[in-house]
């Protein structure tokens, strides 16, 4: 019972950190999606400009993205930030998976040891009965 109480306490202690991490991941995913959309718009606009096709929609985009500057200075830093955020999300997910796997491994080891003790007890008990 004390082991279960300890596990329950540990779960309660970890819940806020897990919730905070999940919230941060959600925020990072939203930032990544915004960055991807901006990047996609810029790529499409550059592609259209390079082929000479400029539509009214492109002119509207031009007003928002200011592509008159060949290399928009914010694009590179935004791309680096997006890559950093993607790495951070991946690392947090891997860390969470690692912790989960480690806990499952420990639990399985405990179960195996318990079963081995039970089997050893049964074998000893069976031998005693057959004599």
| pLDDT tens readout for residues 12-48 | 888 988 899 999 999 999 999 999 999 999 999 988 8
Distance between CA 26 and CA 23 in Å, rounded?
Answer: 5
What's the number of domains the chain is made of? 1
Cβ partners under 8 Å of residue 48, min gap 6: 54, 55, 58
pLDDT of 52 reads 72
Distance between CA 3 and CA 104 in Å, rounded?
Answer: 16
Average pLDDT for the chain: 80
Structural domain of 39: 2-130
């Amino acid at each position: 019972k004390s082991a279960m109480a300890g596990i329950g306490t540990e779960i309660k202690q970890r819940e806020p950190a897990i919730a905070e991490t999940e919230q941060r991941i959600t925020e990072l995913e939203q930032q990544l999606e915004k960055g991807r959309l901006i990047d996609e718009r810029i790529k499409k606009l550059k592609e259209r400009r390079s082929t000479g096709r400029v539509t009214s929609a492109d002119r509207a985009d031009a007003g928002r993205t200011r592509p008159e500057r060949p290399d928009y200075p914010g694009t590179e830093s935004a791309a680096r930030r997006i890559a950093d955020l993607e790495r951070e999300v991946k690392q947090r997910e891997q860390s969470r998976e690692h912790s989960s796997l480690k806990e499952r491994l420990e639990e399985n080891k405990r179960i195996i040891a318990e079963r081995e003790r039970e089997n050893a007890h049964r074998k000893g008990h069976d031998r005693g009965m057959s004599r």
